[in-house]
């Protein structure tokens, strides 16, 4: 690869402390994880409801593997769409109060496929600057005009909409922002979308399971229906503890995605066992409300403690509680120090977040104990 100069570029990343490497986890996800024989308190995963290693979910996975085997064999439109995929879609539609739902293999693919199916060259997409990469990439591959507004700046969005002469307009936003943990003002977005005759798409990857009485996410919490938010996307690999994602909306939307979404059509369907496991985790998510209550208590405990330590928090009530440190060096050093206390947190750098807003991304799970949060707080003392 010498002619491409890759080694030199990699050295450059190392010098700027932007080099990324993977840690090899040995064992299941949970409030603790093992790395090379050492146990860490895990404050870095998105397994908010502690369902990724739940015995009932695992049992459903195993039973479905016995019944359906491991591989789905082909794409959904050929012969890969099983009774488990179908049943999960019906249950997700019911759960979100939408007419229908369509399961994708990943959230990344759901966002890319949905946006590119709905808008094209003569259309325009409007997005919050802090939206997830998959929403941004979906807008880019769609070929539509693409406008981004500063985080949460709906006044600016209003100006951009007013300036637009495009016939088809799509507004897309994270529901809960993945690196900040704050919530989009979806009530206002819905009303702006209605006024400007735009389509509204909300990516609730971090709200589903966590927000709302039944865990239906930000839209359940705000009481927004399919009329107000016609395109809802959420993932299965975070709160629901498995893998994949879905888009929910009306019949015409879902049928359009089945005909057009390239990331749906040209890929092998997920294993049926993953779908069967998700059906159980979806039930647990709704029934076991103690998971959301416990999570809320742990988040409150953390915020109280962090404020006492003088740490600068973001206005987030979700399990995502970042501490912005502002440089690669500071954030890498802080994560290293926490690791010495056997605590794992995400050290988030550019391009995941803007330069100067490098942060520790601390996340909570219903599987954590109060003692673990106390331990985290004492390790954070003197940082930030």
Ligand X SMILES: *Cc1c(COP(=O)(O)O)cnc(C)c1O
169 is catalytic: no
| Helix (H/G/I), strand (E/B), else coil: 321 | strand
357 is catalytic: no
Other beta carbons within 10 Å of 375: 15
| Residue 272 makes contact with ligand X by CB under 6 A | no
**Cα separations in angstroms, 317 against 152, 295, 297:** 16, 10, 11
CA–CA gap between residue 227 and residue 243 (Å, rounded) = 28
CA–CA gap between residue 215 and residue 211 (Å, rounded) = 5
What six digits make up the tokens of 96?
Answer: 């979100």
Q: Which is nearer to ligand X, 349 or 384 (CB)?
A: 349
CA–CA gap between residue 81 and residue 116 (Å, rounded) = 23
CB of 39 to ligand X, least distance (A): 25
- Contacting ligand X (CB under 6 A), which of 48, 61, 108, 302? 108
Catalytic residue among 44, 178, 239, 357: 178
CA–CA gap between residue 219 and residue 229 (Å, rounded) = 8
**Cα separations in angstroms, 138 against 32, 105, 142, 178, 263:** 35, 15, 6, 17, 11
What six digits make up the tokens of 3?
Answer: 């002619």
CB of 174 to ligand X, least distance (A): 5
Q: Which is nearer to ligand X, 173 or 372 (CB)?
A: 173
CA–CA gap between residue 172 and residue 155 (Å, rounded) = 16
CA–CA gap between residue 175 and residue 248 (Å, rounded) = 14
Q: Which is nearer to ligand X, 222 or 311 (CB)?
A: 222
**Token pair 């966590």 in the structure block, residue:** 210
| Residue 134 makes contact with ligand X by CB under 6 A | yes
Segment interacting with ligand X, rule: CB under 6 A, options 88-96, 106-114, 209-217, 267-275: 106-114
Q: Which is nearer to ligand X, 105 or 226 (CB)?
A: 105
Catalytic residue among 81, 238, 294, 368: 238
CB of 309 to ligand X, least distance (A): 28
CB of 318 to ligand X, least distance (A): 12
**Token pair 């939307």 in the structure block, residue:** 253
CB of 133 to ligand X, least distance (A): 8
Q: Which is nearer to ligand X, 100 or 132 (CB)?
A: 132
| Residue 29 makes contact with ligand X by CB under 6 A | no
- Contacting ligand X (CB under 6 A), which of 84, 124, 174, 180? 174
Q: Which residues contact 11 (CB under 8 A, 6 or more apart)?
A: none
Residue nearest ligand X, Cβ-based: 107
What six digits make up the tokens of 149?
Answer: 């507004």
Q: Which is nearer to ligand X, 272 or 363 (CB)?
A: 363
| Residue 107 makes contact with ligand X by CB under 6 A | yes
CA–CA gap between residue 148 and residue 72 (Å, rounded) = 39
Rounded to a whole number of angstroms, the CA Rg of the chain reads: 21
Q: Which is nearer to ligand X, 42 or 111 (CB)?
A: 111
Query: Which residues ranging from 214 to 243 are in contact with ligand X (CB under 6 A)?
Result: 235, 237
CB of 115 to ligand X, least distance (A): 12
Catalytic residue among 76, 85, 206, 221: 206
| Residue 271 makes contact with ligand X by CB under 6 A | no
Query: Which residues ranging from 178 to 217 are in contact with ligand X (CB under 6 A)?
Result: 178, 203, 205-206
Segment interacting with ligand X, rule: CB under 6 A, options 21-29, 105-113, 146-154, 341-349: 105-113
341 is catalytic: no
Q: How is 93-151 classified by DSSP, letter by letter?
A: HHHHT-SEEEEES-HHHHHHHHHHHH--TT-EEEEETT--HHHHHHHHHHT-EEEEE-T
CB of 103 to ligand X, least distance (A): 11
Size of the site for ligand X (CB under 6 A): 14
Q: Where are the beta strands (DSSP E) in the chain?
A: 32-35, 38-42, 100-104, 124-128, 145-149, 169-174, 199-203, 231-235, 245-249, 320-324, 343-344, 346-348, 359-363
Which residues are known catalytic residues?
Answer: 178, 206, 238
Q: By the criterion CB under 6 A, which residues form the site for ligand X? A: 106-108, 111, 132, 134, 174, 178, 203, 205-206, 235, 237, 245
């Amino acid at each position: 690869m010498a002619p491409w100069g890759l080694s030199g570029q990699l050295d450059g990343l190392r010098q700027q402390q932007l080099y990324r490497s993977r840690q090899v986890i040995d064992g299941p996800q949970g409030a603790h994880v093992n790395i090379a024989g050492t146990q860490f308190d895990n404050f870095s995963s998105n397994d908010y409801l502690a369902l990724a290693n739940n015995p009932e979910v695992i049992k459903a996975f195993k039973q479905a593997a016995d019944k359906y085997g491991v591989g789905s064999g082909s794409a959904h439109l050929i012969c890969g769409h099983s009774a488990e995929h179908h049943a999960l879609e019906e249950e997700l539609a019911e759960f979100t109060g939408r007419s229908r739902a369509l399961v994708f293999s990943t959230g990344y693919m759901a966002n890319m496929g949905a946006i590119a199916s709905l808008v094209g060259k003569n259309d325009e997409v409007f997005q919050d600057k802090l939206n997830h990469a998959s929403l941004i990439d979906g807008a880019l591959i769609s070929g539509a005009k693409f406008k981004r507004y500063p985080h949460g700046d709906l006044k600016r969005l209003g100006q951009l909409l007013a300036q637009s002469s495009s016939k088809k307009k799509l507004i897309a936003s994270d529901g809960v922002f993945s690196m900040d943990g704050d919530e989009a003002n979806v009530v206002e977005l819905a009303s702006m979308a209605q006024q400007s005759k735009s389509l509204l798409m909300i990516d609730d990857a971090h709200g589903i399971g966590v927000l709302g009485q039944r865990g239906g996410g930000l839209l359940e919490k705000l009481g927004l229906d399919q009329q107000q938010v016609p395109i809802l996307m959420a993932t299965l690999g975070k709160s629901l503890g498995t893998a994949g994602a879905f888009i929910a909306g009306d019949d015409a939307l879902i049928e359009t995605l089945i005909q057009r979404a390239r990331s749906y059509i040209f890929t092998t369907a997920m294993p049926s066992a993953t779908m069967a496991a998700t059906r159980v985790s979806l039930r647990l998510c709704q029934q076991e409300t103690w998971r959301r209550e416990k999570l809320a208590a742990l988040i409150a405990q953390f915020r109280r403690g962090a404020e006492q330590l003088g740490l600068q928090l973001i206005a987030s009530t979700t399990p995502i509680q970042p501490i912005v440190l502002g440089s690669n060096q500071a954030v890498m050093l802080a994560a290293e120090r926490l690791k010495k206390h056997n605590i794992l947190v995400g050290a988030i750098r550019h391009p995941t977040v803007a330069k100067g807003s490098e942060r520790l991304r601390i996340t909570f799970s219903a599987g954590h104990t109060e003692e673990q949060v106390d331990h985290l707080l004492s390790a954070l003392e003197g940082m930030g």
